[in-house]
Amino acid sequence: MGTKVSDMQKNVTPGRRKGCPNYPPEFKQQLVAASCEPGISISKLALENGINANLLFKWR
């Protein structure tokens, strides 16, 4: 269950606003795909990958 995409998170570029990163589309797609698997806790997945669970829900 421990789906980590932390290698892709290293490719995060600074966002337009201070402190708001822009995540690569591949990173988003992998997390969304992982969050749709049965038995996966979205909150846990977000925590393991260093993002807010609300952001992951927004990407879905």
41 found inside a domain: yes
50 found inside a domain: yes
Residue 29 has pLDDT above 90, yes or no: yes
5 found inside a domain: no
Strands (DSSP E) contained in 1-60 are 13-14, 21-22
Q: How many domains does the chain have?
A: 1
38 found inside a domain: yes
11 found inside a domain: no
Query: Which pLDDT score, from 0 to 100, does residue 22 have?
Result: 87
Half-sphere CA count of 60, side-chain side, radius 13 A = 14
Residue 49: domain span:
23-60
Query: Which pLDDT score, from 0 to 100, does residue 9 have?
Result: 56
pTM flag (> 0.85)? no
31 found inside a domain: yes
